[in-house]
Amino acid sequence: MSYETILTDIRGTSDLKTGVITLNRPKAMNALNDQLMDELGCALMGFERDDTIGCIILTGSEKAFAAGADISAMKDYDFQKVYGSNYISRNWETIRSVRKPVIAVVQGVALGGGCELAMMCDMIFAADNAKFGQPEIKIGIIPGAGGTQRLPRAIGKSKAMDMVLTARMMDATEAERAGLVSRVVPLDKLMDEALGAALVICGYGQLSVMAAKESVNRAFESGLSDGVMFERRIFHSLFATADQKEGMDAFLQKRAPNFVNG
Ligand code: CAA
């Protein structure tokens, strides 16, 4: 499959590999338009279906993960167009149906829809030059790809309000301190760090990886009792797998486990 607005690559030498998707509209700082979101969805689902892929990395350029929704495309949209075509809902959230872990690797700016796209991933690794923001208010709109919901869940109400209402940017250090980002890494080491984390994940039993992701995500969709019950049932179900037997046997026999993903 050939794409015009993204690049795809497969990295790694172990049984399970990492699919890397790079947003690639350099002249527009990777601004997100419909074509890019369609291509991104297609690439994500391709990696999701590929049994040789255990983890996915989504990244951009050194200057920009993504500077937000494409303002030149949106400028002439009217209500009929955005409501009628289900703008954003139609093709921006494919990533939410991916069951394999997705790591956002953010260098440079992640603004507006770019920050929202990073937040749709499972974790964010940031370069020390990264900047996050929800500046939509400056152009007469508000975040429209989940920013008003995911940002307060990630960093709390006060900081989220600050960012959404003043449009100020947060640097990588503040983003990590606030809980938006899981690791901050020097720019030139960032991709190696992310590939290393992906390799670690690829080495685990993939049913438990999928179950872990599903259970953590449930924390954002349910109350505590329901979430804990969901986790408990998934935890119970993993005792039906060969990888649970193998993982525990290997630990007790002081050897490395040989997971079969079953
Ligand atoms: N849409 C379209 N084009 C964009 C863009 C965007 N979101 N962001 C940057 N570009 C383009 C610029 O128009 C410019 O193009 P030209 O060279 O053809 O003029 C090119 O990228 C480089 O941008 P700048 O010259 O502005 O570069 P800079 O380094 O001075 O500034 C920036 C970089 C701070 C990212 C600045 O471009 C900027 O503020 N961009 C807009 C950010 C924004 O408002 N994002 C939110 C969009 S709305 C949204 O995302 C809605 C939603 O929730 C879904």
Compute, in angstroms, the gap from residue 164 CA to the centroid of ligand 1: 17
In tens, the pLDDT along 192-233 reads 999 999 999 999 999 999 999 999 999 999 999 999 999 999
15 contact partners, CB below 8 Å, separation of at least 6: 52, 202
Closest ligand 1 atom, CA of 135? 44
The whole-number pLDDT of residue 92 equals 97
- Kindly tell me if the per-residue pLDDT of 174 is higher than 90: yes
Instruction: Say how far residue 119 (Cα) sits from the centre of its chain.
Output: 6
113 lines ligand 1 (CB under 6 A): yes
Compute, in angstroms, the gap from residue 26 CA to the centroid of ligand 1: 11
Burial class of 35 by CB neighbour count within 10 A (0 to 12, 13 to 18, 19+)? middle
117 lines ligand 1 (CB under 6 A): no
- Kindly tell me if the per-residue pLDDT of 1 is higher than 80: no
In tens, the pLDDT along 61-84 reads 999 999 999 999 999 999 999 999
Positions marked catalytic: 69, 113, 116, 136
- Kindly tell me if the per-residue pLDDT of 13 is higher than 90: no
Strand blocks (E) in 64-153: 64-66, 102-106, 109-111, 123-127, 131-133
In tens, the pLDDT along 114-137 reads 999 999 999 999 999 999 999 999
The whole-number pLDDT of residue 14 equals 82
Q: Distance between CA atoms of 243 and 259, rounded to whole angstroms? A: 5
Ligand 1, atom 17, residue with closest C-alpha: 27
What pTM was computed for the model? 0.97
112 lines ligand 1 (CB under 6 A): yes
The structure tokens listed for 88 are 């954003």
Compute, in angstroms, the gap from residue 78 CA to the centroid of ligand 1: 20
108 lines ligand 1 (CB under 6 A): no
Beta bridge partner(s), residue 103: 57, 123
133 lines ligand 1 (CB under 6 A): no
Compute, in angstroms, the gap from residue 1 CA to the centroid of ligand 1: 28
